[in-house]
Chain A
């Protein structure tokens, strides 16, 4: 689960990670109150959406920049009014962009130097890794590619936790001394505690900055959490912003379906995540484009299949449907019954190809045949994919 920058910074403060003074607002009326909490002078106005590249983004009405520097608070208020309710398109949002529903004002900081700092899981060693670089404020992927020697990594032993010598080592590598070193050490330790205590999946600060007075501040904050651990963090679960999620994905999660919307026109309904991914792949292999990832899970019921069909058909781009079920333990006839009920209920007019294989497949195929539905059956995944691609073309 992702959260907004302003939410992440509130968590930072709670764990003793210094951030510039800031306040969020969701209506123009709240702008005034939010701005009175900040010191007079230069102010940053930051659109709050769950996507990177905000500063270089463009709003759909042509206004440029989702993050702006303003000389005065008065100016900040005017800029915020242009952003709020407007739709921001960035390199990460896709062409549709995201509607800005919250504005975050922060006091603009004097920057001496920018750094990069992140904490995440290192999959190779199954340990938390702290990644830091002297090259902050830029794309870290580019730094890793062009000058990998400038990326410093510290693996944390989960049995012991982050050791002081590791923090010292990292600070030396970043070239920090004096008050900066002391403040950065405290910040890194506190950020690690937050990462560990909250079951974060990733914490990224880009840039982390030093100021002329020796302060070290997190100027930006990107935080995501391990969905599997949300059950033990109700206070973090409460930060979920449904406005940032696809309405079809929210509906799917209510029915314990795993759905992700994509840009294509062939919808798929599959059991199992690996098979669902490869069903998308095989559609593309034969020249089609998948409209979604949809895993109905290992024990789908008739009701889930009906819900899945409704969600698929809620996507106006969909021109055809491919059902691919390998019923290992799952009864193919349960799926077949669900398909028949769903098609009758939603009045399906689009081409439908069904590939059923596995447990009780004969009964499942008989159910489909007896239903009188106009559907095409596929024998293998390849056969089914070729048929739906042809029908949609």
Chain B
């Protein structure tokens, strides 16, 4: 098992005919992911072809879900239309919408988040690398790859990884895989200040997942999401957890690439978050090169086997 998705998950792609969406649809198909439908309004009835794959395109998410049984969408549509694309997934009753799009106006996300209250659809992202549930084939082939992360660096196993940042997630996964440690699921929740699924939401899922034996929690300066997750871990999670916070050298008031990565007050600096991690029993990675080793230290201390 894994969290939220499995290698059997049926995926649809919103924005499948755009350059960005098309490129990553091909990579997901190559990885063995079950991409069953595409959605591009006005191109319904056409097909997205890649090698032996022939993915039907629909005019709406509702049509695509009804015809193919897709339960999860990856959203690649441009920022001005992305909020609408998310709401369309909610309306169609999908289980999960993963918004890859970078640069969605914050007000749009404030409204989307409010509109999703009480609905059954979960949102991951936006401005995120997506999710990977590794498969059992060579280079984890046969898994479910949603979004833009490299699939081949993964390995099927028992570590859950959650992060705001794409490349830092890859760095952590690569460190794990080269040490022979596999992953249950990796989740990139995105670098925006308003996002769907939080660090804490993912941590709760990992804590409850019998297939996940250890967790790497990667955070950044800005906001207090990492702190909320850490306090919950202290009270509720027995599994070994390693943590890293990026942005110790970032000056206050400057936005470091991600819209959410900006120090606003004394509470959201890297130093403040690292102090909370330590206080909550999370093994802190001293440098980004130390993430996998930090988890190994935490696992050893708790007598947990990660492989």
Contacts and interface: CB of A to CB of B under 8 A. Distances in A.
Interface of A: 92, 121, 123-124, 126-128, 141, 157-159, 196, 199, 201, 226-229, 231-232, 258, 260, 262, 270-285, 290, 293, 295, 298, 326, 328-329, 357-359, 380-383, 385
Contacts of B193: 121, 123
13 contacts: A126-B113, A159-B111, A199-B105, A275-B171, A275-B288, A277-B249, A280-B249, A282-B288, A290-B249, A293-B256, A329-B150, A358-B153, A358-B174
A228 B167 contact: no
Nearest to A279: B288
Contact of B265 (A127, A141, A196, A381): A141
Interface string B146-185: 0011100100000000011111111100100000000000
Contact of A278 (B114, B153, B244): B244
A228 B103 contact: yes
Question: Which among B193, B222, B225 has the greatest number of chain A C-beta atoms within 10 A?
Answer: B193
A232 to B, nearest CB: 7
Contacts of A275: 165, 167-168, 171, 288
Given A258-B257, A281-B247, A329-B27, A157 B171 contact: no
Nearest to A197: B107
Contacts of A380: 289
Question: Which among B108, B148, B167, B249 has the greatest number of chain A C-beta atoms within 10 A?
Answer: B167
B80 A231 contact: yes
Contacts of A277: 165, 220-221, 246-247, 249-250, 256-257, 261
The bracket for how many chain B residues form the interface is 35 or more
A314 to B, nearest CB: 19
Nearest to A127: B110
Contacts of B169: 274
B171 A381 contact: yes
B220 A274 contact: yes
A260 B247 CA distance: 13
A273 B107 CA distance: 22
Question: Which among A283, A290, A293 has the greatest number of chain B C-beta atoms within 10 A?
Answer: A293
A192 to B, nearest CB: 13
Given A272-B167, A281-B270, A284-B249, A121 B174 contact: no
Nearest first, the 5 closest Cβ-Cβ pairs linking A and B are A274-B165, A273-B257, A272-B167, A229-B105, A328-B150
Nearest to B265: A141
B218 interface: yes
Interface of B: 24, 27, 79-80, 103-111, 113-115, 148-150, 153, 163-171, 174, 191, 193-194, 218, 220-225, 244, 246-251, 253-254, 256-261, 265, 270, 286-290
B223 A126 contact: no
Contacts of A298: 148, 166
Contacts of B258: 273-274
A359 B254 CA distance: 31
B224 A359 contact: no
Given A281-B270, A357-B174, A358-B170, A276 B150 contact: no
A357 B172 CA distance: 12
A157 B117 CA distance: 12
Question: Which among B174, B222, B257, B290 has the greatest number of chain A C-beta atoms within 10 A?
Answer: B257
